[in-house]
Structures are given as structure tokens and as C-alpha cells.
Amino acid sequence: MVDRKGLADFLRRRREALQPEDVGLQRGPRRRASGLRREEVAALCHMSTDYYTRLEQQRGPRPSEQMAAALAQGLHLSLGERDHLFRLLGHRPPPRGASSEHVSPGLLRIFDRLADTPAEIVTELGDTLRQTPLSVALTGPTTHLTGPERSRGYRWFTDPAARDRHAPEEHAFLSRLYASGLRAVVGLRGPGSRAAALADLLLERSAEFRELWDAHEVGLEPHELKCYQHPTLGRIEVHCQTLLDPDQSHRLMVYTAEPGSESHEKLELLAVLGAAAAT
């Protein structure tokens, strides 16, 4: 059963505790509210303002588990707060650890400040959980994907289009890197894990992956310098810096180009064009 009173109070207090700066929003000069507005929270949670308002007013249908997860992420809840929200809604809290897709508030706060930089948050299997607009413009949109296609390593071996935005001279190394990385995760998570299921699928569907898997190569590290082949602007070289959340095995990957370089100018152009126009 839904604890509607407790849910409404919890949502309101968490909304009022968040400041625009906490979620990457600008504080206007005429803002009087101490926290976020309902419409701002609704946008962060990818739901209508009316739907969110009814929750704070103890009305409306019970949110699904997917909607609960969106509320938890939009309100930047900690894992403990997320679990509490699920229980208020009468749902079993999702598992924690590497299989969780709940991004920690600390990682989100950093990510929200990178709106003008290519950056993304990915899982240990390469599922993209968040992308900045400039990341979408540079590497293409990936947060909408479902099933095994969410994993960039899986796409690399099963979808030829996944290689289009990478410089041809990097393809061989990236194939080795993805196979090596997946074997390491399978060893860490064991049989029955999603990593093991992905490996089984790739062994069935990719001769290239089977050959690399049989080589049993592990421990490869990605290159700091990455070369992307943008469909409009051509070659763009960026340096990748990674911040790891060890509790969730999530990685915040930030891409920057050397100031004054041709790639830096192209990133600035992508920022002007916008993600939609550039892709």
C-alpha cells in the first residue's frame, strides 16, 4: 500500500531542500522559493508538472517502479533515501551495487556542472546512464537504448554503425579492449551475472569476439587520447578523464580537447550548433 501522506511530505521536503545550483540550474534574480519549484522537479524527473503535483497533494495513481526510480534520480536522493521512497510507494527497493542504475548525488552534482563539456556516466558494462548535450553531439545518443544493446561493448561487435564515430586505426585496439574488459567483469561478477549473459550472446553472434575471447586477454587499459570521427566536422581528438564511484561501479567520463587545437575549435563549434543540429 502507498503511504500517501508520508510520500507527499517526503517529496515536498526533498524538493525544498534542493537548490537550483544543486541540479545545474541557474538561480534567477526574482526567485523567492527556498528550494526547487514543482515544475523544475517534474522536468528533472521526466514527468508532467500535473503528475508530480498530484503526488505532493496525496492524489493520483501509484507510481510504477520505473517512475519511482525517475523520482529518486531527479530529486538527487541518496541510496538510503531512494530505498525509503520505494517503501513509501509499496515497492521493494532495487538492489545496490554494480547492477544498480541509481547515480549517486555526488556524481550527479559534478555531472550537472558539465553542461558545456562532453561528459557521460556509464556502468561497468558500458551502459550510458547520463549524457551532456555536447556528449550527444560528439558520440551520438545512447541513453535511449534497451536490452543488450545498451552495452557499448555489445554494440561494438554486433552493430557495424557503432564503429562509425571512431577513427579506423583505433578499431582493432577497441575490439581487444572491450573483450578484455568484459572478461574482467565476468570474472568479478561470476556465472549468472549480466556480464556472463552478454559474453554468451557475443560468443554466439560475433566471430571476431570469439577469437578475442579465446585469446583470454585481460587488463587492457583505455587510451587517454580518443579519436572520434564526427559525421559533420570530421576528426576530433579528446583526452578522457574518469572519476569512479566504487560503490556503484559507475564512471563519470569527461572529454576535453587541448586548448588552441583544431579539435578544441570543433568542440566549441559543436557547442554552438547544439546536439540536435550537429547529429
Instruction: Residue 105: name the closest of 63, 75, 148 by CA.
Output: 75
The answer to whether residues 48 and 42 touch, using CB atoms and an 8 Å cutoff, is yes
Contacts of 226 (CB under 8 A, 6+ apart): 170, 237, 238, 239, 240, 255
CA atoms within 13 A on the CB side of 236: 28
What is the spatial distance between Cα 263 and Cα 140, in angstroms, rounded to a whole number? 17
Across 57-175, the runs of DSSP E, i.e. the strands, are 119-122, 128-131
> pTM of whole model > 0.85?
no
Q: What is residue 278's predicted lDDT score, i.e. its pLDDT?
A: 41
What is the spatial distance between Cα 257 and Cα 259, in angstroms, rounded to a whole number? 6
Q: What is residue 275's predicted lDDT score, i.e. its pLDDT?
A: 46
274 — pLDDT class (breaks 50, 70, 90): low
The answer to whether residues 14 and 1 touch, using CB atoms and an 8 Å cutoff, is no
Q: What backbone phi and psi angles, to 5 degrees, belong to 217?
A: -85, 130
Q: What is residue 33's predicted lDDT score, i.e. its pLDDT?
A: 67
Contacts of 278 (CB under 8 A, 6+ apart): 137, 230, 232, 233, 270
Residues facing residue 242 across a β-bridge? 253
End-to-end CA distance of the chain: 45
Tens-digit pLDDT profile for residues 129-172: 999 999 999 999 999 999 999 999 999 999 999 999 999 999 99
Q: What backbone phi and psi angles, to 5 degrees, belong to 236?
A: -135, 120
Q: What is residue 1's predicted lDDT score, i.e. its pLDDT?
A: 84
262 — pLDDT class (breaks 50, 70, 90): very high
Tens-digit pLDDT profile for residues 68-125: 999 999 999 998 999 999 999 999 998 887 778 899 998 999 998 898 899 999 999 9
Instruction: Residue 203: name the closest of 218, 189, 182, 234 by CA.
Output: 182
Element (H, E) at 227: strand 225-230
